[in-house]
Amino acid sequence: MKKLLLLLSVLVMVMGFSLAVHASPEEDRLVFRKFYEKRFPNVATEDFINGAYSIDKAGRENWEAIEEFPPYEPFMERGREMWEKPFANGKGYKECFPDGPGVAHKYPHWDKKQQMVMTLPLAINQCREANGEKALKYKKGSINDILSYMAFESRGQITNVVVPKNDSSALDAYEQGKKFYYTRRGQLNFSCAHCHLQNAGMNLRAEMLGPALGHTTHWPTYRSKWGTVGTLHRRFTGCNKQVRAKPFKAQGEEYRNLEYFLTYMSNGLPLNGPGARK
Amino acid sequence: MRKKSLQLVSVTRVISVLLACMLLVTFSVSAGPAAKDQSKAVSKDVQDGKKVAFSRKKGNCLACHMMAGGEAPGNIAPPLIVMKSRFPDIKKLRAQIWDAVVRNPESSMPPFGRHRIISEKEIDQVTAYIWSL
Amino acid sequence: MLIKYKLGILLLMIAFASGQVLAADQGKAAAKPQAAEKKAVAEDPRAAAANKIILAADAARKKAGSVGGEWRDTGKMLKKAKAAVKSGAYDKAIKLAEKAGRQGELGYTQATSQQKLQLPSYVTVLYVNK
């Protein structure tokens, strides 16, 4: 009997493995979601956009108090000024983003012409450079101002990443992001999934590990540890470093593909940036 | 209620300290001089091993495991208690610390030996310490 | 009267102390050209040995990086090793470089042993029981 059970479970695993390897992004997303809904049956799926605070009661009270006087507000204000102010050539962000500042939900997307994943920070810098302005840095500094403003203007929009079927390079980029997420890295030998899936809800020392569903809805984010607002790729950098892996370049191919996969996993969730975190 | 439990804790503490003293006394009485030297070396390892285990830069075992005397432990992994009964063979304990992935390919415990996070000597020390728990 | 006496002693003490410092400085200055001379006359064979190990370790680091497997501190270790060679601490340099080289190899092995996507069992199982 025991042997039979073992055989059966091995069979299920093997089946699961081959299914999972050939899964479509949409199947991946449903599994990703189900994983957290099973682990945290009392959390409403939409609440995962609040990160670790969706499952950490004590942390949540603290955070709600912080959100009463949002620390990212001055950044948003400066961002609004950047948005309004024309470049030296007389043009401005408005020409690059004709649909207005509330377009964060359109990123990341597959850029067929450039054959790469286009993110909002990258689009901002391409706009600047096309108009003779200097590119902004991708982790710290004033890119976070304009991103904060655009994130705020995008609040309530729904995450909706598309992996176009008619371009296999798009699927490749997605698959590479997925592979990145499940690959062990660094001297400490962790994958992202070790902390944010396998051990979600557990404490690493005193810190609760948050679910990855909703990880992409609230960027840029004010972090008390940083004392400022920072980008998603700055966060990726930190999570790579803490396992003693050499981080990748912000807005390089690896992190953009990772963002593509990770944001796809949150499809259907509303945007709530800029965020505030510990 | 709180007071009572505190009292209870302190009473059990006193008793356990007494018991430990008695054990120590009987142990040192029964042990010969050679055994004494050996046990000194072992206890030195245990002491050094505790430092390695608690240090954030070295073992940082507390990030995941509860351990006696450690503050703010994580709860990712089972508490490290009664290790002699869980690992009667100390070699297996050492192997677990050296590379946890061998026993569980999906383990989130860092491979302290395989990835040279701490030295072989430090692994011996940590093993001695953990085995004493 | 007493104060003048005390001041005098103080001055004497200061003079003595600064004399000592100066003498020590001169000693150092005298020693320095000697060390430089040594380097110029013949490169210490241990420096060449250390540099060789550093070069190999840097290659191992780059190889790990080429497959996305470089570790955080390997580059820093090599920088320190190079600085150690410069200051003549060859043993330290060799030790650091050897450590960095092993990190490069381990990082490379780590990355290449996961060339195929390996989803964890707690995820794959969910693809079946939908």
C26 and C73 co-located in one domain: no
Q: Does C123 touch chain B (CB under 8 A)?
A: no
What's the rounded mean pLDDT across residues A223-239? 97
C63 and C4 co-located in one domain: no
If pLDDT is split at 50, 70 and 90, which confidence band does A1 have? low
If pLDDT is split at 50, 70 and 90, which confidence band does B32 have? very low
Residues of C in contact with B112 (CB under 8 A): none
Per DSSP, what are the bridge partners of residue A110?
Answer: A117
List, by residue number, the catalytic residues of A.
239
Mutate to test the interface with A, among C125, C129, C130 (most CBs of A within 10 A): C125
pLDDT tens for A15-47 read 666 666 678 999 999 999 999 999 999 999 999
Q: What is the SS3 string spanning chain A?
A: CHHHHHHHHHHHHHHHHHHHHCCCHHHHHHHHHHHHHHHCCCCCHHHHHHHHHHCCHHHHHHHHHHHHCCCCHHHHHHHHHHHHCCCCCCCCHHHHCCCCCCCHHHCCEEECCCCEEECHHHHHHHHHHHCCCCCCCCCCCCHHHHHHHHHHHCCCCECCCCCCCCCHHHHHHHHHHHHHHCCCECCCCECHHHHHHHCCCCEECCEECCCCCCCCCCCCEEECCCCEEECHHHHHHHHHHCCCECCCCCCCHHHHHHHHHHHHHCCCCECCCCEEEC
Kindly state whether residue C22 falls inside one of the protein's structural domains.
yes
Kindly state whether residue C125 falls inside one of the protein's structural domains.
no
The distance of A193 to chain B (nearest Cα, Å) reads: 10
Domain interval for residue B42: 36-132
Kindly state whether residue B17 falls inside one of the protein's structural domains.
no
Residue B62, domain CATH: 1.10.760.10
Kindly state whether residue B118 falls inside one of the protein's structural domains.
yes
Q: Determine contact, residues A207/B76, Cβ cutoff 8 Å.
A: no
ipTM rounded to 2 decimals? 0.90
What's the rounded mean pLDDT across residues A112-135? 98
Q: How high is the pLDDT of residue C40?
A: 43
C50 and C107 co-located in one domain: yes
C55 and C108 co-located in one domain: yes
Residues of B in contact with A187 (CB under 8 A): 110, 115-117
Q: Determine contact, residues C129/A25, Cβ cutoff 8 Å.
A: no
Q: Determine contact, residues B18/B10, Cβ cutoff 8 Å.
A: no
Structure tokens at B91: 């070699």
Domain interval for residue C12: 1-34
C37 contact partners, CB below 8 Å, separation of at least 6: none
What's the rounded mean pLDDT across residues A141-160? 98
Helix A168-181 to helix A253-265 angle (10° resolution) is 90
Indicate the residue type of A130: A
Domains of chain A and CATH, by start: 2-69+162-277 (1.10.760.10), 73-153 (1.10.760.10)
The distance of C51 to chain A (nearest Cα, Å) reads: 24
Task: Report the residue of chain A nearest B110, measured CA to CA.
Answer: A188
Kindly state whether residue C129 falls inside one of the protein's structural domains.
no
Mutate to test the interface with B, among C106, C119, C124 (most CBs of B within 10 A): C106
pTM over 0.80: yes
C64 and C111 co-located in one domain: yes
Higher-scoring residue by pLDDT: C35, A273: A273
C93 and C51 co-located in one domain: yes
Instruction: State the total domains in chain B.
Output: 1
Q: Determine contact, residues A54/A47, Cβ cutoff 8 Å.
A: yes
C23 and C51 co-located in one domain: no
Count of CB contacts below 8 A, A vs B?
Answer: 36
What's the rounded mean pLDDT across residues A128-154? 98
To the nearest whole percent, how much of chain A has pLDDT over 70?
92
Q: Is the pLDDT of residue B122 over 70?
A: yes
C109 and C84 co-located in one domain: yes
C56 and C96 co-located in one domain: yes
pLDDT tens for C72-106 read 999 999 999 999 999 999 999 999 999 999 999 99
Nearest to C125 by CA among B46, B87, A101, A16: A16
pLDDT tens for C5-14 read 554 454 445 4
CB atoms A188 and B117 under 8 Å: yes
Instruction: State the total domains in chain C.
Output: 2
Indicate the Cα dihedral angle A107, A113, A117, A118, nearest 10°. Answer: -40
Q: Quote the CA–CA distance of C58 and B19 in Å, as a whole number.
A: 56
To the nearest whole percent, how much of chain A has pLDDT over 90?
90
What's the rounded mean pLDDT across residues A197-211? 95
